[in-house]
Structure 1
């Protein structure tokens, strides 16, 4: 999945030093193939931060599904979340429920979603329903964060694998792990936090950890980040809370990059 980098983050990222061989700005530009839902790819059109805002959908309706947030629905349909809340008479704290109908038609002005895709001021809204357990294919085993592989990697979260890595450039560049809103997301290996923010469209609240001059890992769609840039973390240390920012359900999108290129995380994580 392609994405744009916010102007504020672009200037901030240029100040970080990642050591010989790999710059953070290059790494972020290469972070493509974002999370998939149920094994099917999700596409976001690439556009620079200065591109015109996406035209909002102004007709029809959407029925809320488990894992949806007001912001995720608004962003997928080109709306500003505040305008969508007003259109549907949704008061603070902007709670939505599974099965609720969100309408895009009606009277009054429509405020398009900002082109930068920033989620900094968006509310954390959740659906009021318990999601049914995900039934995965037999080849997908539940993950766990208790053991460490011989290469020093541990699972970043407990949960069921719902999407696997694909070497095809148009598909998933990591794995997706289903879970519950707010459950711990941990560092898969020791390293230094080189990015913590929401400036990369399609990844939501994202953490990137540099483990060496060769390896980095990325953790997307979190509800809340618990680490800051420049912080040293240990393998298994909690770095975020699982969420649904930038996507349509609660899950962790996890990637491992070797010299800037995506590799299959299952080749590095402990077998279950």
Structure 2
């Protein structure tokens, strides 16, 4: 490693396959290790690898252009290094996090929406929680049909986990639904620090929330939300603010929307096409 104050700079004559035991099932770390290993000399084994759909998609893409990766969809990947890769055509999988967010948007506005070209199997834990709430939806092979519903019920526990557990990136959007569910819901964020900061913004809108510690909160509902100026704390918190604004009474102004744009392409345009009154300033 070359010491550089402005960036990380690694240099090697060649890369040699080895066993890598991840400290945690990190998506970015797993993807970087995969991309290094495909052209390394020999065999690389990655243990406690992340197995999110986009990690699997990267592996499938690399195999399509000449890599030799096995164990895809598990926490143990075996990669036999190849000398070179070639070009090819590949269709990227749908974004399961956007699917979940748009499904919640439809539910919170009591809409009847059909989401196409998606893979519902990427969101098993998410659909389980929606069934627990009492939402109405139908899953197809590559579609999700959200139907109008109300009188939602609180969930006893919403605990985030590594895939295929409940995605931490859908925790904030799902919490907005819980503000409209009858009863007391408990949220446990187990993966990241600071992931509950968006709850302060929901409190400004009138949500009944107790933040017990940086990883644990209680939401009581249903509670009418009111439009007020709020801020996006990060990508997924920003999506949650948009959902809260959609179901709030009155006009809501959201700042720091650059976070939202990083994770959701043209989300304002897509929501407008579904009937939302949303505009940029």
> Scaled by the length of structure 1, what TM-score is found?
0.22
Q: Normalized per residue, which structure has more helix?
A: 2
Question: Rg bigger for which structure?
Answer: 2
The one of the two structures with greater contact order (alpha-carbon pairs below 8 A, sep at least 6) is 1
> Scaled by the length of structure 2, what TM-score is found?
0.22
